[in-house]
Chains A and B, each alone.
Chain A
Amino acid sequence: MELQALAGCLSSVSCTVMQVSTGLIIGMLLFLVASGLSLIFGVLGVINFAHGSFYMIGAYFAFSAYQLTDSFTLAILSGALGVGIFGMVFERLFMSKVYGRDVLMQLLVCYAFILILDDMVKILYGAEYKLMGMPQAFALPPIQVGGGFIPSYYVFMIGISAVIGLVLWLGIAKTRFGKVVRAAAINPTMVGALGINTTLLYAFVFGIGSLLAGTAGALAAPIRTLTPGMGLSILIESFIVTVIGGMGSIVGAFIAALLIGLTRAFGSMGFPLFVDGMMFAMMALVLIVKPSGLLGRPVH
């Protein structure tokens, strides 16, 4: 146990600031992935087990675009839109074929795609680690807050994720489209009877969910090593986030993602071997005390 290290860090402002910023970027990435997962589940009633792989291909799309064009903006856009379109195609051609069927079949389709995407990445990029490198625009001196240094890219990432989260929340809570999506989550037949093309709506929602995963992958590309199979751990963590926050709740996902992010950041100092255990204990606690999550609708 390195609890002294944790106590030492907490007593110094600069160290706390740095760990908080690390926790925030972990949390923001988790939030983007988890909100996509939660959105798809909330509306379509399926869990996209391949969501972590979408995050992975988002990162690789961004990596390739950055290598080709040297533009970070294009890298992010291609990661986000590329995976968004991929998600829509995936929904139309594969996922939609197993909606009415056994959960087993949905699971197998996703399982097949995780295997295929991992191997495709291995074939196209090789099995070894890839580094994208920090874009030129962020080669700035770190920003100083209370004696602690925060890399400027972290600030950008936290900011842009917060904006995306806000747009998503406003879009679902305040716009007409958001109303339709919420209605479709509760009673798709009725929504269809009112003249809305639910097939298209499903594909679109799946696309948005995938786009969020792709964006997270693209944003993570400069600060993470890229490797086939990188999606799995974030899939599990984002699931924990949706369970704690409550399936279908964007705000809940946000709170839970920050909670998990900060737990990871400080936990890896104080009790590195028990960070995973801590996250699972938190999830188990929520499931026992309030199975629907902090802000979720009741689960049957």
Chain B
Amino acid sequence: MTGRGFLRDLAIAVALLVVLLVLPTVVPHPAMRDFVIYVIAYGLLAMSLNLLVGFTGLVSFGHAAYFASGAYIFGLLMQSGKFGIPLAMLIAIGGTALLALVIGAICVRLKEIYFAFLTLAFQMFIHSIILTWVSLTGGDQGLMGGIPRPPFLGIDLNNGMSLYVFCSVVFVVCMVIMRQVVQSPFGYTLRMIRDNPHRANFLGVNVVRMKLAIFVIAGTMASVGGIVMALFVSGAYPEFGFWTTSGEAIFMIMLGGTQLFIGPFIGAILLQTLNHYVTIYTEHHGLVLGIVILVFVLGLRRGLADFVYLWFQDRKTKQIEKEAGR
């Protein structure tokens, strides 16, 4: 059963990759490629956050910290000129895992609303380090001077199309990993912790350790998003680790909904599209976004993807009822 599930997931992943790779030939505009890379970076942030929010019931308001740490560690290693891209990526992911381990060890013991605030506080601490340690990070100017992209294994990421393919492959690999985590026994333990932590505890699950483990995994996946972003914009900026980035990631999850594994990615697409048009028409981006959030939270009371999903479910049930009635 697990084997078949895995094969199915793999097939879907390959299909997703094919869609991503074919997209630039269908829509040959370079802006489309840029848009997809953006969505991939923020999609990874949102999907990894959903491991905490959706599957474990841990609402983190500081997830962008790991996005930023991935971007900064990677950028700094590349600028030092001593590392290739793959090695720098691995070190950035490992470094972020360590950071998430330290912060997570303090945060995961607390109950949910406290947890949300504490993760926010630590994120702002990371942000303030980025701002004050000017000699290392460039302060509020961001990591200046660009990030070099030396070729590795015959791949030259300075070529726009290779960069696009590389990001797509990284994205799909991360999706497969996250899907495996969620479908594993560990993933189901997390759902149990979300639904009833006391029961999980009675059954002998070490709740704190499980939460910490998923916190670290989610952090590393977010750091991959940050690395993709740093590669793409050839820099790293303090905004990566600002609380608004975390807030947007949370809204992506809400928009995309919790019914589907791919939901947060859909949320990322929706929010990036919205951002794109809002910034064209108005400079009051926050005002518009804030009102949109309120409409979704208080009006629809669920995300767009959930809304559509439930609408379909509803229609299906009605149809079945109608047929049964006949």
Contacts and interface: CB of A to CB of B under 8 A. Distances in A.
Interface in B225-261: 243-244, 247, 250-251, 253-254
B250 A239 contact: no
Interface in A112-154: 112-116, 118-120, 122-123
A104 B290 CA distance: 15
Interface stretch (B20-28, B119-127, B151-159, B205-213): B119-127
Given A108-B250, A291-B109, A103 B116 contact: yes
Chain B residues touching A, majority SS: helix
Given A115-B287, A116-B290, A287-B106, A239 B113 contact: no
B286 interface: yes
B19 interface: no
Contact of B293 (A103, A111, A120, A233): A111
B266 interface: no
Contacts of B112: 103
Nearest to B131: A276
A39 to B, nearest CB: 15
Contacts of B117: 47, 49, 239
B59 A104 contact: yes
Contacts of A232: 124, 243
A104 B253 contact: yes
With a 10 A CB-CB cut-off, give which of B125, B132, B243, B290 has the most chain A CB atoms: B290
A283 interface: yes
B59 to A, nearest CB: 5
With a 10 A CB-CB cut-off, give which of A106, A109, A115 has the most chain B CB atoms: A115
A1 B167 CA distance: 43
A297 interface: no
A285 B214 CA distance: 24
B121 A103 contact: no
A46 B113 contact: yes
Contacts of A97: 298
A94 B298 contact: yes
A194 interface: no
A276 B125 contact: yes
B252 to A, nearest CB: 11
Contacts of A299: 110-111, 114
Interface of A: 41, 45-47, 49, 94, 97-98, 102-109, 111-116, 118-120, 122-123, 232-233, 236, 239-240, 243, 247, 273, 276-277, 280, 283-284, 287-288, 291, 299-300
Interface of B: 53, 59, 61, 106, 109-114, 116-118, 120-122, 124-125, 128-129, 132-133, 243-244, 247, 250-251, 253-254, 284-287, 289-291, 293-294, 296-298
Give me the 8 closest cross-chain CB pairs, A-B, nearest first: A116-B290, A115-B286, A115-B290, A119-B287, A112-B293, A119-B286, A112-B290, A111-B247
Given A111-B293, A291-B110, 20 more contacts: A98-B298, A103-B113, A104-B53, A104-B59, A104-B253, A107-B116, A112-B291, A112-B293, A115-B247, A115-B286, A115-B287, A119-B284, A119-B286, A120-B287, A239-B117, A240-B121, A247-B114, A283-B121, A291-B109, A300-B111
